[in-house]
Amino acid sequence: MVLHGTLPTVVYPNPLRPRDTGHGLALLESQDVVDLWVQEESDEAESPGVNFDFGLVSGGVFGRYLEGLSMLDDLQVGSYPDPEPRRLHRNAERRDRPVYFIEPLADDTDWSEFLTQEAKAVSHWRKLLAMVRTGKRWKQYLKGHFLEAKRPPKGLPADLSSADVLASTWWSFTQWLSTPELNEQRDRRYARRLRGALADLRATHGKDATLLVVHHLPHRVALMGALKELPEVEEISSTPTETPLQEEE
């Protein structure tokens, strides 16, 4: 597996875009995300920037992330659909490469139970009370990730580091809203299905099969930890989707 971390709504500079996407693509999304992307593309065609503006006025933790991105000058940010996953999805379809949607659909019994437990955790009265003071917790996470920030490689925009800090802050906040146990349960399920996707590719391409895994960059450490545990393989097959073909991006 090749892990490719992305920053939500950030258009990656060309040096960060993988061109050889391997034998298949894995997205930590359900297949429903394609319908969302199509709708967002339609919305943007009618009113450019409408999705970004809606995200800002909607508030919440992701709204704070978008607000921070809007202050960066050296990056193209606030793009919808999420540009890097959508670009790689289009390219995989164009090359007729398998696409695996790693998040199960809601009709999966185990996943449905997980979503129920996650909703209960997020809506616990202690979390709801703490959400009244989101600004304080946001600043705490932001400061912590800022102190850990590193400069981007030479030749890449300096604002990439700031975008990384903002994304890590958003991710830390969303993980806190759930529980460590549920976050680990989610990652174990993802790891099982990722191993299943790679096994499916190997049935066609042998032991040299390569699966490109697109994920939020701040999720990488936890995801790698789950994969290193070598959980039981969950059988999964690629999902056919239909997208109008365009030139490679």
Q: What is the pLDDT of residues 185-216, one digit of tens each?
A: 999 999 999 999 999 999 999 999 999 999 99
| Tens-digit pLDDT profile for residues 147-189 | 999 999 889 999 999 999 999 999 999 999 999 999 999 999 9
Segments of 63-185 assigned E as strands: 99-101
Residue 215 lies in a domain: yes
How is the chain split among helix, strand and coil, in percent rounded to 5?
A: 60, 5, 35
Q: Has residue 238 been placed in a domain?
A: no
Cβ neighbours around 163 below 10 Å, total: 23
pTM reported for the whole predicted model? 0.92
Q: Is position 160 within any domain?
A: yes
% of the chain with per-residue pLDDT over 70: 94
Residue 191 falls inside a structural domain = yes
Measured CA distances, 200 to 195, 206, 233 (Å): 9, 10, 10
Structural domain span for residue 32 = 2-228
Residue 95 lies in a domain: yes
Which amino acid appears at position 161 of this protein?
A: S
How confident is the model at residue 242, as a pLDDT? 54
Residue at 234 is within a domain:
no
Please give the tally of structural domains in the chain. Answer: 1
